[in-house]
Structure 1
Amino acid sequence: MVFPHRYVSNDEDSHRWLDLPLRKGDIVISTRSKSGTTWMQMICALLVFQTSDLPAPLSELSPWLDWTGEPQAEVYDRLAAQRHRRFIKTHTPFDGIPCDKRMRRIVVARHPLDAAVSMYHQGNNLNRERIRELIGAAAGAGGSGDRGLQAGPTDPPAPRPDLHEWLIGWINEQVDPRESLDSLQGVMWHLKGAWACQEKSNTLLVHYADLSADLEGEMRRIARWLHIKVDESRWAELVRAATFSEMKSRASALAPDPNGIMKDCDAFFRRGVSGAAAEVLSEEELRAYYDRADDLAPGSLLKWLHRS
């Protein structure tokens, strides 16, 4: 048997996918950090339940399977007990997930600079002491105990540079993309794998900019692809519930905050707009980013990706 590549860090382990009993139609939401993960989870929840009155917090309805802050057995049990169509969150690229045609795989992409700015601010909102407690407790309860040792959200925060300096470092950093998935190289690695699979019938790519520009149109496209029929009378409510303002107003139920890993759920929904990097980078620095991106991904992907 050929096993998928194992992506492992202080708080994620992609091999938690290996023993999960799959169901036909399982929806796998595969994204890089701060690229629209929670937005797509909400859209899937609205389409599956066809009401804005969800039966449980979003992180319970759509577990983050790879996250080692919760024991694997507990996540498996929760998924096994679900009777609705399941939609599962992951930050693992496709080469780290078992290839199974029963899955419907949705990949959400965002302009990498916008995702990076959002990730910078989210780093200030993590309760790292709480994350360390959860990772240790889960490992003691049968979670993964042999994770890698690279820096992650469990590590005590070092003094952080300002956003401008941090972005320049992020653009120029040279790393192994499989060891640093939230680096620029890691983002491109994840998206290149998805881009190569886009012709497969069980794979859908969605752009953050398209969700922003035409939320209803994209939700209808996703519903058709998932073979979910929605009564016309329901669409206005569902689309309104997926807007940034409505989701922010329900931050306590929708933010990905299992067991209190954030300092402030409201802060998770910070701005929800594109173009933030252009506010801090000069034209020369922006050109340097695009030059670097040209070396990391095919032109067809970059033309689609670099929209805001």
Structure 2
Amino acid sequence: MPTPPHRYRSDDEDSGRWTGFPFRAGDIVISTRSKSGTTWMQMICALLVLGTPELPAPLNHLSPWLDWLAEPRDVVCRRLAAQPHRRFIKTHTPLDGVPLDPRVHYVVVARHPLDMAVSLYHQVGNLDRARLAELTGQGAPVGPAGERRPVEQWLASWIDRETDPRAELDSLPGVLLHLSDAWARRHEPNVELVHYDDLLADLGGEMRRLAGRWGLEVPAERWPELVEAATFGRMRERADQLAPDTLGVLRDRRAFFRQGRSGQGRHLLDESGLARYHKRTAALAPPDLLTWLHR
């Protein structure tokens, strides 16, 4: 018998909400770590599936986060059941925590972990914690928020921190657990790995490659406007429609699309910090994955 999916739970997520989900043939599951290109891939899927930059609804209504406890599961499932087009569903759960259906496509976006971590640092500062606690039924934050450490200090501690990767998926061990699992499945016909830097370098080429893998036909004359709509600048201009915030958990929707580039994490570390990072990652992930990830 196949191994049942691992259940990942946190204060605002529960991968158990995937249990019994009624997949359709052709569904696309977008599995990413936080701040690794989730919204970017959701937008790419929307453009390829719908064939137009004019979306009929906010992006996170078209592509809901099924694991998120802020919305009742039955509400999310009803919304997905009503969609007549191919569906594309968001999760931050590794593939070993999601039911794997041979009729379904799974796409995992990988970003250099240091860049992902810096974006996560800034994202945490943009969250309305009181609103998030209200939505998920957690206790409201107590006392003042306190002063945050400078990003350089926080990043160094993030690299060194020892933690259970299955309990803290946004830790460095958690990031590499997620990517190592996907890397081991990369030759499966319905699993696709995408590197964040490849999207930066050749967005049109990557979109065409994914359309081919998923059997999505796009008229030649539509490609220029679809690729343009998926650029970071155009998405930032449409933050009110594209940021994952219909329930009001972000303080600033435009700040969600902060920079969208690579290299920022590496520039914050000195030589010894980079050496510690590479030593740590070498103990957490296979060398061929790290070569691909760090290129």
**TM tier, shorter chain?**
over 0.9
After the TM superposition, which segments of 4 or more aligned residues of structure 1 sit over 3 Å from their partners?
154-159
Q: 1:113 aligns to what?
A: 114
- Classify the secondary structure of the residue corresponding to 1:206: strand
Which of 143, 161, 178 in structure 2 is aligned with 1:190? 178
Q: 1:35 aligns to what?
A: 36
**1:39-54 alignment to 2 at 5 Å?**
39-54=40-55
**1:206-221 alignment to 2 at 5 Å?**
206-221=194-209
Cα displacement (A) at 1:60:
0.3
Q: 2:13 aligns to what?
A: 12
CA distance in 2, matches of 1:60, 1:300: 37
Residue segments in structure 1 that go unaligned for 5+ positions in a row: 140-148
Q: 1:230 aligns to what?
A: 218
- Classify the secondary structure of the residue corresponding to 1:253: helix
Q: 1:295 aligns to what?
A: 283
Contact 2:115–2:266 under 8 Å retained in 1: no
- Classify the secondary structure of the residue corresponding to 2:205: helix
Cα displacement (A) at 1:279:
2.7
**1:163-202 alignment to 2 at 5 Å?**
163-202=151-190
Contact 2:36–2:111 under 8 Å retained in 1: yes
CA distance in 2, matches of 1:158, 1:191: 33
Question: Are 1:277 and 2:254 counterparts?
Answer: no
CA distance in 1, matches of 2:110, 2:7: 22
Cα displacement (A) at 1:258:
2.8
- Classify the secondary structure of the residue corresponding to 1:177: coil
Question: Are 1:305 and 2:293 counterparts?
Answer: yes
> Which amino acid letter does the alignment assign opposite residue 55 of structure 2?
L
Taking structure 2 as the reference length, the TM-score comes to 0.96
Cα–Cα, structure 1 residues 20 and 155, in superposed 2: closer, same or farther, change >3 Å? farther
- Classify the secondary structure of the residue corresponding to 1:274: coil
Residue segments in structure 2 that go unaligned for 5+ positions in a row: none
Contact 2:49–2:86 under 8 Å retained in 1: yes
Which has the higher mean CA deviation after the structures are superposed, 251-260 or 7-16? 251-260
- Classify the secondary structure of the residue corresponding to 2:90: strand
- RMSD across aligned positions (CA): 1.4
CA distance in 2, matches of 1:166, 1:158: 14
> Which amino acid letter does the alignment assign opposite residue 39 of structure 2?
T
CA distance in 2, matches of 1:201, 1:159: 48
Question: Are 1:162 and 2:163 counterparts?
Answer: no
Q: 1:146 aligns to what?
A: none
Cα displacement (A) at 1:219:
0.4
Cα–Cα, structure 1 residues 24 and 155, in superposed 2: closer, same or farther, change >3 Å? farther
Cα displacement (A) at 1:270:
0.5
CA distance in 2, matches of 1:165, 1:103: 42
> Which amino acid letter does the alignment assign opposite residue 228 of structure 1?
L
> Which amino acid letter does the alignment assign opposite residue 79 of structure 2?
R
**1:237-252 alignment to 2 at 5 Å?**
237-252=225-240
Cα displacement (A) at 1:158:
5.3
> Which amino acid letter does the alignment assign opposite residue 167 of structure 1?
L
> Which amino acid letter does the alignment assign opposite residue 202 of structure 2?
D
Cα displacement (A) at 1:66:
0.3
> Which amino acid letter does the alignment assign opposite residue 241 of structure 1?
A
Cα displacement (A) at 1:243:
0.3
> Which amino acid letter does the alignment assign opposite residue 196 of structure 2?
Y
Contact 2:113–2:175 under 8 Å retained in 1: yes
Instruction: Count how many residue pairs are aligned between Structure 1 and Structure 2.
Output: 292
> Which amino acid letter does the alignment assign opposite residue 131 of structure 1?
L
> Which amino acid letter does the alignment assign opposite residue 239 of structure 1?
V
